[in-house]
Structures are given as structure tokens and as C-alpha cells.
């Protein structure tokens, strides 16, 4: 099977810029690649991640692929809750709930505080909160 070419009449991204960026990723987690749209003239700096950094980010956000984690994050996008209320809301065992909350906190997805000996959590990322609160949408992409 041959390699298919895109029907692109103008390539705006310079191969030498990309090659230089990949070389720079040997010592950096991320790097910017200069980009100028030939149609609009708009200049951008495209973010390119190293393989190692992309792997670390994927590990950090892996819990987002687990339904139980998403349920916890959605609840904590609404309000700060103690771990026992999260367990009650999700009808889960206290120990399993505590472990999952601690993991999400270690990953930087939750903020934690203790109040009168109880552990409270809330979502740490406003953009993720907005995404979770949007709910399902139906969109058509061409």
C-alpha cells in the first residue's frame, strides 16, 4: 500500500524548522515550532512535545479514561466534598474511594484539604471542570 498524499497546495510548515525542533527535544520536554499561514499571514508558535513528556502526560491523564474516575471528577467539579460523601454518592467502598481520590490528587487533578480531621477534595482544573459540566453534546464533524 503506497503512502497517500494530502491534497494540499501550499505547505506552510517548513521541514527544516520541524527537524530542528525535533533535534531540540533531545534536551527539552517541549519546544515551539515557528509557523506562518501562507493564506492569512498569521504567525503562530506550534507546541511540539517530546515522546517522554507526552508519555508522562498520558500517564497523568490516564484516569480520565476510567469511568469511576470521571464520575468522581464530575462530582468534584460541582462542589468540594469529603471523601465519605464521594463514596456515598458513587455507592463505593470507603477504602477504594479514598485510594482513587488520593491518586487523582497525586496526579494534580484534585485539590485536597483537611478540615476537622476529614479529607475534602475539589477539582483543581477549571478547564476540566467546564468540560465535565458541559455534558454530552452531539456534534457533526466533516
- pLDDT at res. 142: 40
pLDDT in tens, 35-73: 887 777 888 888 788 888 888 878 777 777 788 888 898
Other CB atoms within a 10 A radius of the CB of residue 52 amount to: 10
CATH number assigned to the domain with residue range 61-134, chosen from the 4 options 3.40.50.80, 1.10.10.10, 3.30.200.20, 3.40.50.720: 1.10.10.10
* Those residues with Cβ within 8 angstroms of residue 141's Cβ, 6 or more apart along the chain or in another chain: none
- The H or E element spanning position 45 is strand 43-49
Which of 6-15, 23-32, 45-54, 91-100 has the lowest average pLDDT?
6-15
122, 78 contact by CB (below 8 A): no
The pLDDT tens digits for 91-113 are 899 999 999 999 999 988 999 99
Q: What is the mean pLDDT of the chain?
A: 81
Question: Residue ranges of the domains in the chain?
Answer: 15-49, 61-134
Amino acid at each position: 500500500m503506497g503512502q497517500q498524499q494530502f491534497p494540499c497546495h501550499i505547505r506552510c510548515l517548513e521541514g527544516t524548522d520541524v527537524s530542528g525542533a525535533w533535534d531540540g527535544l533531545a534536551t527539552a520536554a517541549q519546544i515551539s515550532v515557528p509557523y506562518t499561514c501562507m493564506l492569512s499571514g498569521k504567525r503562530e508558535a506550534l507546541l511540539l512535545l517530546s515522546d517522554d513528556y507526552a508519555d508522562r502526560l498520558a500517564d497523568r491523564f490516564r484516569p480520565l479514561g476510567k469511568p469511576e474516575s470521571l464520575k468522581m471528577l464530575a462530582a468534584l467539579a460541582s462542589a468540594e466534598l469529603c471523601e465519605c460523601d464521594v463514596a456515598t454518592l458513587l455507592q463505593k467502598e470507603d477504602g477504594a474511594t479514598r485510594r482513587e481520590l488520593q491518586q487523582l490528587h497525586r496526579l494534580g487533578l484534585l485539590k485536597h484539604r483537611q478540615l476537622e480531621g476529614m479529607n475534602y477534595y475539589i477539582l483543581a482544573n477549571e478547564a476540566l471542570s467546564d468540560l465535565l459540566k458541559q455534558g454530552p453534546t452531539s456534534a457533526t464533524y466533516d
